[in-house]
Chain A
Amino acid sequence: MSIEFKNITKTYDQAPVLENINAEIENGEFFAVVGPSGCGKSTLLRMLAGLIDITDGIIKINGKQINGLAAKDRNLTMVFQDYALFPFLNVEDNIAFGLKARKMPEEEIKKRVAHALEMVDLSDYKERKPRDLSGGQRQRVALARAIASDAKICLMDEPLSNLDAQLRVKMRSEIRDLQQKLGLTLIYVTHDQIEAMTMADHIMVLNDKHVQQIDTPLGIYNQPANEFVANFFGSPKINILSGNYQSNNHEITIDKYLKIKVNKKLDKNDYVVGIRPNQMDFETIDNLKEGNASVKNVSNLGSQTIVSALLDNGQTVRIVKENQLSIAPGERIKATSRGDAFVFDPEKRNLAAISVGV
């Protein structure tokens, strides 16, 4: 089941919430839609589901235009953030709810519900009411409902955001496994970049009414289309620094020690440079007059250490080292780049060049 968005626009009371969205999703793909809250990702999902109208543009499923088709006729399922379980129905009836509404034969319903319960490992809980289940179990009931419906497209709207961190990690792999097993085309909306990175085949980054980038997780990480994408992905957050371009040696200078080589000719003087914290390095300096920064804060995570420091030119940088360090705030350091960096246009904030090593 392939899906295609073509110039999708959505306005509420004249105010646009989405503009010119284009995307293609392949059959069997795990497609994540990521963006900060309020960026319109849920709206996009609901337009695909047929829950809200499209203002302009075309949505196709398997090459067939489905604008105006009612939700039930689109042959897809949806898993919601709050699970959308009926409190007065037990697990079994919640799963069978839609099937009964579609007047499926009793036998078939039984078979499917049993199968779905088995898939999510809830067979022992089928008599329970939702309020007697834990958050993770409720989420699995919602998944089971999607499984039982037999539709090949599944939409998920932040399905894990109400779970605690540990459970979330576990559910991620469960959902991914299910998707693989059932061969679902899965559209997964989340504001959590890690979820998207770890689960998706392709990611669509949405912000400010527009698609920022559509790519594989690595593609997005390695070649962010713009400053927003670069900022949104990666943890700890990328360092965004301003620097000057010297056309004579194709170099962008942030300060006296922090310099980025650019592999192509640029035409402006000021640029914004993004350097991931793990692409930076530093050494401690004893002489207080030397170096280019002083340490502000140190977080020891055990396997790595995150140091944040204030450059002498007033900009802050985060640096990650893959070992344990004994360093205290106030110490002088000399911060340098290992080489990999993104150069963004200062106005449009689009990717202008990539620096790979020195």
Chain B
Amino acid sequence: MEEENNLLDAKKQNILENSKKSILANKISVKKNDKFYALLFLGPSLLLLILFIFYPMLKTIYLSLFLTNGNGQNTVFVGLENYVSLLTSSTYLASLGSTFVYVIGVSVLTIFLGLLLASTASKNVRGSVFFRTIFSSTMGVSISVSAIFWLFIFNPSIGILNQVAAFFHLPILNWSTDPNLAMISVIISTVWMNLGFAFLVLFSAFESLPLSLYEETAIEGVGPVYRFMHVTIPLISPTLFFVSIITLIESFKSFGLIDLMTAGGPNNATNMLVYQIYQNAFLNGNYSQASAESVILTIIIAILTFIQFKYLEKKVSY
């Protein structure tokens, strides 16, 4: 009897232990390595983004609340004073204004000319591949090269533009000193540089237009202009939106061409947001001011990017 009892107990014990084991076993995941791999794979990117994007953003906000001395150390806490002085400074407001003029000018021209190039190149005639290569070629031009090409073209005394003007007895324009002309010259150079990219993207949208729609409108006897406005444009509107927003964002961040062509002048006419930041921080040593300007720039870019995301969300499943 006792033996049997013991046996039973032992059995019970065994069952208990087994169930404990099974509970433990269940906790072990078949993907136990995943945490390690997630860290290994995502870690580097996350670390880099934190170190070079998130941390500096917070630091920039922090710096914008202080005054900085000649050596770039933040010394006196001033709260939002830097922002107040920025937003009441006529220079900064003028800079905001000229940035908007520049951004709008660049975007409108880029879209318009990009559409013109893309629609012209989309017709399959002999040699169209050759023309497409030409139209996209400015994508391979870097900032410095573009600046040098255009600086020479716009050079008031020896530039080709004024030489041609002189030849035809047209008025000689002072491209580098007239504020309006300088703005135009910077816009033209930027648009020229942007065109390759805009053309490439818009052209691929034209390429993927359904042929059947064209055939149908042709049957219905719709004119080309009407068709372009009411069939083509709506069909490529997602691409159009993409190109516009990218161009907007990129032109808000313009720096290189301005630094090379006008250095913000004349009379601050082309002193855009990023050039202001550079000028204040790395020429004047006024880090607090530059930081406040950086924060304002970030807000503008963030809003635009957010609009882009919202739009993408409809198109792309995350």
Task: Determine if chain A interacts with chain B.
Answer: yes
Chain A residues within 8 Å of B, Cβ to Cβ: 50-58, 65, 67-71
From B27, B30, B32, residue with most partner A Cβ within 10 Å:
B30
Q: Is the CB of B25 within 8 A of A67?
A: yes
By beta carbon, the residue of chain B nearest A74 is: B30
Cα distance, A223 to B71, chains bound together (Å) = 91
- Asked if B30 and A58 sit within 8 Å, CB to CB, the answer is no
Chain A contacts for B28, CB-based, 8 A = 67-68
Query: Which B residues lie within 8 Å of A67 (CB)?
Result: 22, 25-26, 28
B31 — which chain A residues lie within 8 A by C-beta? 53, 70
B212 at the interface (CB under 8 A from A): no
Q: How far is the CB of A160 from the nearest CB of chain B, in Å?
A: 27
A71 neighbours in B (Cβ, 8 Å):
30
Are A50 and B22 in contact (CB-based, < 8 A)?
no
Pick the residue among B21, B22, B29 that contacts A53 (CB under 8 A). Answer: B29
Most chain A CB within 10 A, of B21, B31, B32, B33, is at: B31
Instruction: Give, as a whole number of angstroms, the nearest-CB distance from A96 to chain B.
Output: 24
- Residue on A nearest B28 in the bound complex, by CB: A68
Contact-residue bracket for chain B: 10 to 19
Q: A57-B26, A67-B25 are in contact. List 9 more A-B contacts (CB 8 A).
A: A51-B30, A53-B30, A53-B31, A54-B26, A58-B25, A67-B28, A68-B25, A68-B29, A68-B30
A70 to chain B, nearest CB (A): 6
Closest to A46 in B: B30
Q: Report chain A residues within 8 Å CB of B27.
A: 68
Contact with A along B1-41 (1 / 0, CB 8 A): 00000000000000000000110011111111100000000
Contact of A52 among B26, B30, B33 (CB under 8 A): B30
CB distance from A209 to the nearest CB of B (A): 19
Within 8 Å by CB of A65, from B22, B32, B33, lies: B22
A69 — which chain B residues lie within 8 A by C-beta? 30
Binding site for A on B (CB under 8 A): 21-22, 25-33
A52 cross-chain contacts in B, Cβ below 8 A: 30
- Min distance, Cβ A161 to any Cβ of chain B, angstroms: 25
7 shortest interchain CB distances as A-B pairs: A68-B28, A50-B30, A67-B25, A53-B29, A58-B22, A68-B25, A70-B30
Query: Chain B residues with Cβ under 8 A from A51's Cβ?
Result: 30
- Chain A residues near B29 (CB-CB < 8 A): 53, 68
Summarize A's interface: helix, strand, loop or mixed.
Answer: loop
Shortest beta-carbon distance from B3 to chain A in Å: 28
Beta-carbon nearest neighbor of B33 in chain A: A70
B32 to chain A, nearest CB (A): 7
Q: List 10 A-B contacts (CB under 8 A).
A: A50-B30, A54-B26, A58-B25, A67-B22, A67-B25, A68-B25, A68-B27, A69-B30, A70-B31, A70-B33
- Chain A residues with CB below 8 A from B33, complex form: 70
Closest to A55 in B: B26
Which of chain B's residues has its CB closest to A56's CB?
B26
Complex: how many Å from CA A71 to CA B22?
A: 18
CA distance A280 to B31 in the complex (A): 54
Taken together as a complex, chains A and B put the C-alpha atoms of A71 and B32 apart, in Å, by: 11
Say how far B197's CB is from chain A's closest CB, in angstroms: 30
Which residues in A have their C-beta under 8 angstroms from that of B26?
A: 54-58, 67-68
Residues of A close to B32: CB separation below 8 A: 68, 70
CA distance A56 to B26 in the complex (A): 7
Interchain nearest-CB distance for B7 vs A (Å): 22
For the complex, give the distance between the alpha carbons of A67 and B24 in Å: 10
Q: How far is the CA of A51 from the CA of B30 in the complex (A)?
A: 7
- CB-defined contacts of A58 to chain B, threshold 8 Å: 22, 25-26
Residues from chain A with Cβ under 8 Å of B22 in the complex: 58, 65, 67
| B270–chain A nearest beta-carbon distance, Å | 50
- Complex Cα spacing A51 to B29, Å: 10
Closest-by-CB residue of A relative to B22 is A58
The CA-CA distance from A58 to B21 in the complex, in Å, is 11
Nearest B residue (CB) for A49? B30
User: In whole angstroms, what is the CA distance A71 to B27 when docked?
Assistant: 16
How far is it, in angstroms, between the C-alpha of A134 and the C-alpha of B25 when the chains are bound?
A: 44
Please report the C-alpha to C-alpha distance between residue A57 and residue B29 in the assembled complex, in whole angstroms: 13
A282 CA to B25 CA, complexed, in Å: 60
Contact B30–A65 (Cβ < 8 Å): no
Min CB–CB distance B31 → chain A (angstroms): 7
C-alpha gap A71/B21 in the complex (Å): 20
Closest Cβ of chain B to A187, distance in Å, is 17
Rounded to whole angstroms, the CA-CA distance of A67 and B28 in the bound complex is 7
Chain A, Cβ-Cβ closest to B27: A68
Complex alpha-carbon distance, A328 and B32, angstroms: 66
Q: Once the chains are docked, how many angstroms separate the CA of A58 from the CA of B32?
A: 18
A202 shortest CB reach to chain B, Å: 25
Closest to A52 in B: B30
Closest B-chain residue to A50, C-beta based? B30
Cα distance A58–B24 when bound, in Å?
A: 11
Q: How far is the CA of A253 from the CA of B21 in the complex (A)?
A: 55
Give the chain A neighbours of B21 by CB distance below 8 A: 65
Identify the closest chain A residue to B31 (Cβ).
A53
Bound form: Cα–Cα A50–B33 in Å: 13
Q: Count chain A CB atoms within 10 A of each CB in B26, B29, B33 and give the residue with the most.
A: B26
CB neighbours (8 Å) of B25 from chain A are 58, 65, 67-68
- The residue in chain A whose Cβ has the minimal distance to the Cβ of B21 is A65
Question: How near does chain A come to B169, taking the closest CB pair, in angstroms?
Answer: 65
Contacts of A65 in B (CB 8 A): 21-22, 25
A53 to B27, CA, bound (A): 9
Kindly state the separation between the CA atoms of A349 and B226 in the bound complex, as whole angstroms.
Answer: 66
Chain B residues positioned under 8 Å from A68 (CB to CB): 25-30, 32
Complex CA–CA separation, A54 to B26 (angstroms): 7
